[in-house]
Chain A
Amino acid sequence: MSTLGILLTLIVLAAFSYYIGRKRSLALATPMQRGGNNLHSLPSYYGYLVVAWAIIPALLVFVLWSTLEKPLLTSSMMSHIPAEYQDKSADERSLISNRILNLVHNPERLATADPLFKAAAEDYQQMQSLSNIIKTLLVLALAIAGTFIGLRHVKPKTRARNQVERVVQIIMIGCASIAILTTLGIVFSVLFESFRFFGQVPATDFLFGTHWSPQTALRADQAGSSGSFGAIPLFVGTLLISAIALLIAVPLGLMSAIYLSEYASPTLRAYAKPAMEILAGIPTVVYGFFAALTVAPLIRSMGESFGLSVASESALAAGLVMGIMIIPFMSSLSDDVINAVPQAMRDGSYGMGATKSETIKQVIIPAALPGIVGAFLLAASRAIGETMIVVMAAGLAANMTINPLEAVTTVTVQIVTLLTGDQEFDSAKTLAAFALGLSLFVVTLILNVVALHIVRKYREQYD
């Protein structure tokens, strides 16, 4: 049965078990005329109890089976292919397994396939359908058995509500823990692949090398570069573009926030604030398109009219548009911190005869400084991790330069270039993307932790 079919059957079974569970509890209850209700919980809780018994074990088995099915089937398939393929390298084995799986998914190619692969693919198909039958039967049997066990628990003295509530509580804890699992998943997947990368390329070469050209030779005897993975040019490019972006976003964002919270009339604020939020809601791919097709040619022609040579994928274009994207982020964060400064501090300053701008510059900004620094750090983390704008508007060549009119590349651009398209997963080239991902994750994590810490400290100060 298909996944959807199994899930739909489980839903029907759940509705059915709720119905009979509830009905049974009512049948067991002493009628009202003879001394009233002797059930511990409301009848619906007995229904839910039966549902929990019916669904939860079946669903767990189903999810577990579905996730493990494919890896197990593949490894069993690979252990059945002839011995001469067994001792090939891991790369070649994964290539063979991909070819066989390809046959499985495109049965029309079976007729023309290599007989060895054909046999393996047909084997796989058989095992797959067998596994599917066992899975369906097992899940449905568990659900039905669960219903019966659940029904046996329906007794007037069963504390159905407490049991159901405990189950609900456990499910909620599980959902909340997904946040931890996600972080762990990120850390382990990035770390694991990075370690494999550092097994091939020394970490010092990666962190301190100044030459980036990730093309590795496919064969040992092939002419051409052997690939060098010095990430310094990428870091420099990332910092250059982020710096341009922040140079635009921080003053504009901060001044907008100051004007909106200190000067603007309520009407202006009511319209200008949401209008600026629109900038934050525009997808980054749209900014990328704008940067690549409108801003970059504009900057190029402007530069040329001044006699400057400007690369068509200049860092300036990407940084400028990224800056526009971050303005609302910066302004709404600063708006929050400026509003949190107590009114008494403003009143004190006015009482001394200061003008509004003097109050802002000498009282409010110093008071709000930790929060503004936090906002700045969060904006910087945004700029460093931003992908689509730079993928579309910045270059691919790893130049080490701080001239904003030249093309530079960034960490995120390289991750995308290295990982899009069909590559073998084990080459240093693809693994390099994970090492870059690790450095990106670590840097943004540090920025975020520090920024959130500063902001929280600051909030406590005035609360």
Chain B
Amino acid sequence: MSTTTEKVKATLGKRYAKEKRFRFYGLASIALSLLFLVILLTDIVGKGLPAFSSTYIKLDVQLDAPTLGVSTDATPEQLRMANYNTAVLNSLNTLLPGVTDRKEKKALKGLVSGDAQYELQRMVMDDPQLIGTTQSVWVLADDDIDVYYKGNIDRTLPEGDRRIKDFQLVWLDKLEAEGRIDSKFNTTFFTRGDSREPEEAGILSALVGSFYTLLVTLSLSFPIGVAAALYLEEFAPKNNFWVDLIEVNINNLAAVPSIVFGLLGLAVFIQLFGLPRSAPLIGGLVLTLMTLPTIIIASRAALRSVPPSIREGALGIGASKTQTVFQNVLPLAMPGILTGTIIGMAHALGETAPLLMIGMIAFIMDVPDSVTSPSTVLPVQIYLWADSPERAFTERTSAAIMVLLTFLVSMNLIAVILRKRFERRW
């Protein structure tokens, strides 16, 4: 045996150990990255799931005319202005009699959400015949009560450390014993706009705002992106200064921080052109500029993957260059282009920073009805709620994130399916 072989043999064990360690580091980093993903998702889902139910309290409300301050033949306007607040208070007083202390009186009123009186208003306005009757109504509980019933307030803590005091616990236990407290699916979350009160806050206005914004983005960025990609890939002269400049610009814009696009939107669209602030129109314009590079790059890749034989075949039987591109190349590249567009749209749906710059950070209760009405989008709504101190908002923020992620996952799934279904290997 030569000395070299001996030398190699002597170190071989060490080298193999090193090899194993290196391999382990690689596997560990993948595992760690995926672990982060799992922790992130379980954290969000764990926090967000309770938001899909909310606590209701059953009240027996006497809807008699004197309390409400209306007569039985009141006009709808009078019905709208009637005193439902007192009706709610009266029913609480009969349920939990003997409250005299001022602080306790306030807490008693605070058992139910401020929405309770509007719930009654809606009922009575739908059916004025209810006046004079006593109705059992399930009304939304206040957010603190809701948080307590979801197990996020520990009643064994000293009283000073809890949001819910001992006398309130006595009330709640009494109500629960009477079967007056129940948890139901939180429809409010999907049917209302933002609110200062967590139990009344919903994501509908943000969802509709996101929809309008994406509508503007899609209807601008798809045609413009495809046209630009077609030109650069099929028609543009090679080694032309302007064409090279365009390409360099597209590649750079793809890596410019999104907040810079927000500055552009603020300075150009709002200050220069005087377009309305906070509107999905501007949001859409800014996101269009931001997603265009993504769409152009993906579309060019899709066009490049169509083999030259297709073009040559069409040109060979006498089609013009434009006819070849539009009637033969483009349809074959379409699945790839659509995949790129959907991924670009998913990106736009999750984008927050540039929209903060152009004022889409407003408090929006009403569902926007056009692309120029003030609105917010889902990620910005998440940002706004994440800033709110109430425990119940944390829950709703996580739930809103779950909704956002559901949309993103389904968009990406569509993109993957589209690619799998229509992808052609030439």
Whole-angstrom CA separation of A178 from B15 in the bound complex: 56
Whole-angstrom CA separation of A434 from B397 in the bound complex: 31
Closest residue of chain B to A168 (Cβ to Cβ) is: B322
Collect the chain B residues with CB atoms within 8 Å of residue A182's CB. 249, 253, 264, 289, 292
Whole-angstrom CA separation of A175 from B223 in the bound complex: 9
Whole-angstrom CA separation of A433 from B259 in the bound complex: 11
Question: Which stretch of B97-105, B152-160, B189-197, B401-409 is in the interface?
Answer: B401-409
In contact, A388 and B383 (Cβ under 8 angstroms) = yes
Closest residue of chain B to A171 (Cβ to Cβ) is: B227
> Given B18, B30, B266, B289, which contacts A419 in the complex, CB threshold below 8 Å?
B266
Closest residue of chain B to A262 (Cβ to Cβ) is: B26
Closest residue of chain B to A357 (Cβ to Cβ) is: B22
In contact, A178 and B32 (Cβ under 8 angstroms) = no
Closest Cβ of chain B to A290, distance in Å, is 5
In contact, A70 and B357 (Cβ under 8 angstroms) = no
Collect the chain A residues with CB atoms within 8 Å of residue B264's CB. 182, 185-186, 189-190
Question: Which stretch of A32-40, A148-156, A437-445 is in the interface?
Answer: A437-445
Given A176-B228, A275-B34, A412-B353: A293 touches B379 (CB 8 Å cut-off): no
Closest residue of chain A to B408 (Cβ to Cβ) is: A281
Collect the chain A residues with CB atoms within 8 Å of residue B356's CB. 391, 416, 419-420
In contact, B255 and A378 (Cβ under 8 angstroms) = yes
Whole-angstrom CA separation of A272 from B34 in the bound complex: 8
Interface of B is mostly: helix
Collect the chain A residues with CB atoms within 8 Å of residue B236's CB. 176
B-facing mask of A81-113, CB < 8 A → 1, else 0? 000000000000000000000000000000000
In contact, A385 and B259 (Cβ under 8 angstroms) = yes
Whole-angstrom CA separation of A357 from B232 in the bound complex: 42
Q: In this assembly, does B29 line the interface, its C-beta being within 8 Å of a C-beta of chain A?
A: yes
> Given B32, B353, B404, which contacts A286 in the complex, CB threshold below 8 Å?
B404
Collect the chain B residues with CB atoms within 8 Å of residue A175's CB. 223-225, 227-228, 231
Question: Which stretch of B35-43, B136-144, B333-341 is in the interface?
Answer: B35-43
Q: In this assembly, does B367 line the interface, its C-beta being within 8 Å of a C-beta of chain A?
A: no
In contact, A357 and B19 (Cβ under 8 angstroms) = yes
Q: In this assembly, does B10 line the interface, its C-beta being within 8 Å of a C-beta of chain A?
A: no
Query: A-B contact count, CB below 8 Å?
Result: 257
In contact, B263 and A282 (Cβ under 8 angstroms) = no
A-facing mask of B328-370, CB < 8 A → 1, else 0? 0000000000000000001001111100110101000000000
Chain A: number of interface residues, binned into ranges: 35 or more
> Given B25, B250, B260, which contacts A186 in the complex, CB threshold below 8 Å?
B260
Q: In this assembly, does B293 line the interface, its C-beta being within 8 Å of a C-beta of chain A?
A: yes
Closest Cβ of chain A to B369, distance in Å, is 12
In contact, B252 and A283 (Cβ under 8 angstroms) = no
Closest residue of chain A to B38 (Cβ to Cβ) is: A275
Collect the chain A residues with CB atoms within 8 Å of residue B349's CB. 283
In contact, A440 and B259 (Cβ under 8 angstroms) = yes
In contact, B253 and A190 (Cβ under 8 angstroms) = no
Given A283-B408, A293-B386: A420 touches B361 (CB 8 Å cut-off): yes
In contact, A392 and B383 (Cβ under 8 angstroms) = yes
Given A172-B231, A416-B259, A440-B260: A275 touches B353 (CB 8 Å cut-off): no
Closest Cβ of chain B to A300, distance in Å, is 16
Closest residue of chain B to A260 (Cβ to Cβ) is: B30
Closest residue of chain A to B47 (Cβ to Cβ) is: A293
In contact, B386 and A292 (Cβ under 8 angstroms) = yes
Q: In this assembly, does B251 line the interface, its C-beta being within 8 Å of a C-beta of chain A?
A: yes
> Given A189, A278, A356, A360, which contacts B263 in the complex, CB threshold below 8 Å?
A189
Closest Cβ of chain B to A442, distance in Å, is 10
Collect the chain B residues with CB atoms within 8 Å of residue A357's CB. 18-19, 22-23
Q: In this assembly, does A180 line the interface, its C-beta being within 8 Å of a C-beta of chain B?
A: yes
Q: In this assembly, does B185 line the interface, its C-beta being within 8 Å of a C-beta of chain A?
A: no
Q: In this assembly, does A179 line the interface, its C-beta being within 8 Å of a C-beta of chain B?
A: yes
Whole-angstrom CA separation of A280 from B256 in the bound complex: 17
In contact, B43 and A283 (Cβ under 8 angstroms) = no
Whole-angstrom CA separation of A419 from B354 in the bound complex: 11
Given A169-B322, A182-B253, A190-B260: A259 touches B232 (CB 8 Å cut-off): no
Whole-angstrom CA separation of A272 from B31 in the bound complex: 9
In contact, B231 and A173 (Cβ under 8 angstroms) = yes
Closest Cβ of chain B to A405, distance in Å, is 21
Collect the chain A residues with CB atoms within 8 Å of residue B32's CB. 252
> Given B257, B361, B401, which contacts A386 in the complex, CB threshold below 8 Å?
B257
Closest residue of chain B to A2 (Cβ to Cβ) is: B370
Whole-angstrom CA separation of A279 from B356 in the bound complex: 23
In contact, B404 and A415 (Cβ under 8 angstroms) = no
Given A186-B264, A259-B23, A289-B382: A327 touches B15 (CB 8 Å cut-off): no
A-facing mask of B267-311, CB < 8 A → 1, else 0? 110011111000000000000010011001000000000000000
Collect the chain B residues with CB atoms within 8 Å of residue A251's CB. 29
Q: In this assembly, does A135 line the interface, its C-beta being within 8 Å of a C-beta of chain B?
A: no
Collect the chain A residues with CB atoms within 8 Å of residue B321's CB. 165
In contact, B224 and A178 (Cβ under 8 angstroms) = yes
In contact, A176 and B246 (Cβ under 8 angstroms) = yes
Collect the chain B residues with CB atoms within 8 Å of residue A275's CB. 34, 37
In contact, A288 and B259 (Cβ under 8 angstroms) = no
Whole-angstrom CA separation of A281 from B33 in the bound complex: 14
Q: In this assembly, does B83 line the interface, its C-beta being within 8 Å of a C-beta of chain A?
A: no
Q: In this assembly, does A349 line the interface, its C-beta being within 8 Å of a C-beta of chain B?
A: no
Q: In this assembly, does B135 line the interface, its C-beta being within 8 Å of a C-beta of chain A?
A: no
Q: In this assembly, does A307 line the interface, its C-beta being within 8 Å of a C-beta of chain B?
A: no
In contact, A258 and B231 (Cβ under 8 angstroms) = no
In contact, B263 and A388 (Cβ under 8 angstroms) = no
Collect the chain B residues with CB atoms within 8 Å of residue A13's CB. none
Closest residue of chain A to B32 (Cβ to Cβ) is: A252
A416-444: which residues lie under 8 A (CB-CB) from chain B? 416, 419-420, 425, 433-434, 437, 440-441, 444
Whole-angstrom CA separation of A77 from B413 in the bound complex: 53
B146-164: which residues lie under 8 A (CB-CB) from chain A? none
> Given A180, A272, A378, which contacts B30 in the complex, CB threshold below 8 Å?
A272
Whole-angstrom CA separation of A288 from B223 in the bound complex: 33
In contact, B257 and A385 (Cβ under 8 angstroms) = yes
In contact, B386 and A288 (Cβ under 8 angstroms) = yes
Q: In this assembly, does A134 line the interface, its C-beta being within 8 Å of a C-beta of chain B?
A: no
In contact, B258 and A387 (Cβ under 8 angstroms) = yes
In contact, B320 and A445 (Cβ under 8 angstroms) = no
B-facing mask of A432-463, CB < 8 A → 1, else 0? 01100100110011001100100000000000
In contact, A415 and B245 (Cβ under 8 angstroms) = no
In contact, B267 and A452 (Cβ under 8 angstroms) = no
Interface centre among A256, A279, A284, A353 (most CB of B within 10 A): A256
Q: In the complex, given contacts A180-B249, A185-B268, what are 12 additional A-B residue pairs having Cβ atoms less than 8 angstroms apart? A: A71-B272, A178-B292, A182-B292, A285-B379, A324-B33, A355-B19, A381-B255, A385-B259, A387-B257, A392-B387, A440-B259, A444-B255
**Which residues does A use to contact B, with CB under 8 Å?**
67, 70-71, 74, 161, 165, 168-169, 171-173, 175-180, 182-183, 185-186, 189-190, 192-193, 251-253, 255-256, 258-260, 262-263, 272, 275-276, 278-279, 281-290, 292-294, 324, 327-328, 331, 353, 355-358, 360-361, 378, 381-382, 384-388, 391-392, 412, 415-416, 419-420, 425, 433-434, 437, 440-441, 444-445, 448-449, 452
**What would be 13 A-B contacts, judged by CB atoms less than 8 Å apart?**
A165-B322, A169-B231, A175-B224, A176-B228, A179-B296, A259-B29, A294-B43, A356-B19, A357-B22, A382-B255, A385-B259, A387-B352, A440-B257
Q: Nearest 9 pairs between A and B by C-beta?
A: A385-B257, A259-B26, A283-B350, A189-B267, A357-B22, A387-B353, A172-B231, A70-B274, A175-B227
**Which residues does B use to contact A, with CB under 8 Å?**
8, 15-16, 18-19, 22-23, 25-30, 32-34, 36-37, 40, 43-44, 47, 223-225, 227-228, 230-232, 235-236, 245-246, 249-253, 255-261, 263-264, 266-268, 271-275, 289, 292-293, 296, 320-322, 346, 349-353, 356-357, 359, 361, 379-380, 382-383, 386-387, 394, 397-398, 401, 404-405, 408, 412
